[in-house]
Amino acid sequence: MIVRKNRDSAGLGHTDTLFHLEPNRSKKPILDYKETLPTKHNFFYNKTEYSLSVQTEYTMFVPSSIEVFFITGSAGGGGGSGCFLTDEMINSGSGGSSGESISKTLVNVHEGDKITITVGRGGKGRGCGANGENGFDTAVRKNDILILTMKGGRGGLCATATSMALGGSNDSSIITIFSGDNGENGDFAVGSLPNPSGGKGGKSFYGQSGNGATSFSNNGCGYPGTFGSGGGGAAPYGSCGSSFGGRGGHGFVSIEW
């Protein structure tokens, strides 16, 4: 049986029924892991609300006669930062970086092995004067031993009185195949350029990055990333507190056999 456990910031959680995603993307409740054999594919995703769980956990058991899994996935992308405004300057927010990704990584397994998948969500976009939230890691464990980790993307950095709004940057781990792309810096303006644009989020290998906002688009809020890409930075709109960076895209894991 496959189950999902949601964790919140207080350490509390609940268990839900996992819906198996068929190739045609129709949803079918799973009652026994053997029902997944004809498709030879399972897709695990983070579907939590941003104010609650930071990761979604799934557990499955290796079916009979299976010796190899091919695992593809991504960590959560970083959120875009907010604007920074003073009487002398305007600085839009920067984009978050994308999470690390892997593609068809081979893992040796045996019948009955417990596979635990922890899927990280994307980081929150932030408002005036605040950095974007970092994305959360995605990890795979076999029989409670960590075998794969993908690091979440970094949130975009908000400008200060002495520095620009710098896009989130990533440090690649050894095991990852695709390191996260950096987010773009936010535009800077003094007087002559009153409508600077927010920086674009970093693009993951699988998703679309969130575009940075302008003062004339989306109420100055950065756009969200998808599948581990970074969110876009905010742009000035009305008062500083009325616009926010875009959220980073949730991570995912796909297992094939």
Query: 3-state SS string over 106-145?
Result: EEECCCCCEEEEEEECCCCCCCCCCCCCCCCCEEEEECCE
Sequence-separated (6 or more) residues with CB below 8 Å from residue 179: 100, 170, 172
Q: Which two tokens stand for residue 191?
A: 């007087």
Mean pLDDT, contiguous 10-residue spans, the chain (257 residues) = 44 36 34 38 60 72 90 93 78 90 90 93 90 93 94 86 56 58 76 73 90 84 93 81 87 90
What b/e sequence results for 12-43 when a residue is b if at least 16 CB atoms lie within 10 Å of its CB, and e otherwise? ebeeeebbbbeeeeeeeebeebeebeeeeebb
Q: Which of 122, 248, 103, 97 is nearest to 180 (CA)?
A: 97
Assign residue 85 a region: left if phi > 0, alpha if psi is -120 to 50, beta otherwise?
A: beta
Q: How far apart are the first and last CA of the chain?
A: 17
199's tokens: 């920086």
The pTM of the full predicted model, rounded to 2 decimals, is 0.77
Query: Partners of 14 in the beta sheet?
Result: 6
Amino acid 185: pLDDT: 83
Give residue-wise pLDDT tens across range 134-158: 999 999 999 999 999 999 999 998 8
Q: What pLDDT, on the 0 to 100 scale, is given for residue 210?
A: 92
Q: What is the pLDDT of residue 25?
A: 37
